Amino acid sequence: MTKLVDLLTKGTVIVDIGLILLKVLALFMALTFHEFAHGWVARRLGDHTAESQGRLTLNPKDHIDPFGTVLLPAMLILMKSPVVFGWAKPVPIDPRNFKDPRRGMMWSALGGPMINLFLAAALAVIFKAMLMAEFHVRGLLLFLIIAIQLNVFLAVFNLIPIPPLDGGRVMVGLLPPRQAMAYSRIEPYGFMIVIALMYFNILDRFAFYPIQIILRFLGIG
C-alpha cells in the first residue's frame, strides 16, 4: 500500500497542501459518521437526547471539537506524523432513557467503530471498482486510500478497552455489575493511560496487527 501511495503522489499536481486537505476531509468524514452513529443507535434504543440537541446530523460543524478535531490533527500533519487522528465533540447520551442502561451504553458505544468499519469496507469496494474500470483519478484514489486507512485506525483505536474509549464502555457493559462499576472508575485516568501506552509503544503493538489484518481483508493492505 505504501508503494501505491507513493505512485499516486509522485509526479502529480497533488502537493503538500493538497495532501493535507485530503487528510482533513477524510478525518472530518470519519469523525462525523462516528458520532452520528453513536446518536443513531442511542435513538433506536430509546434515547433521543442527541436528536433533541441537534446532534443527530451528518453536518461536520456540529461535531467539531476545537482541540480533538482541529488543533491535534493540525499538529500531527505539520509534524508529518504517519498517523493523523483526532476526536469529535461527544454526542450527548442519557443512559436513563435505556431499558438497560449498561447494555444501552454498550451498543451505543459500538455504533461509532462499527460505522467506521462499514465506511472502510464501502470505500474499499469503490477503490477496487475504480482500479478494475481503469478510472484512475489520482486525487480520488489517494483520498479513498487515506479514508480507508483512517476509518480502520479509528475503529481499532476506539475499541481499546479503556474508558472513556468506546471499547471501555463495551467492557463495562459486558462485565458483571460490581466489576463494571469498579472498572468504570478508571475513566478519569483513561487518556493518561492511553498516552502512556502510546509513549512506550505498547499501543502500537496492540493496534498494528488488527489494523493490518482488516486492511488485508479489505484487499487494501
Other CB atoms within 10 Å distance of the CB of residue 207: 19
Helices (H), the chain: 2-9, 16-44, 49-52, 72-78, 101-132, 138-158, 166-174, 177-184, 190-199, 202-217
In this structure, what C-alpha cell is assigned to residue 117? 468499519
In this structure, what C-alpha cell is assigned to residue 50? 442527541
What residue has cell string 451504553? 105
Cα–Cα dist 97/201, whole Å = 39
Catalytic residue among 35, 51, 134, 187, which?
35
Active site includes 35?
yes
For helices 101-132 and 16-44, give the axis angle rounded to 10 degrees: 140
76 CB contacts (<8 Å, ≥6 apart)? 83, 84, 85, 86
Catalytic residue numbers?
35
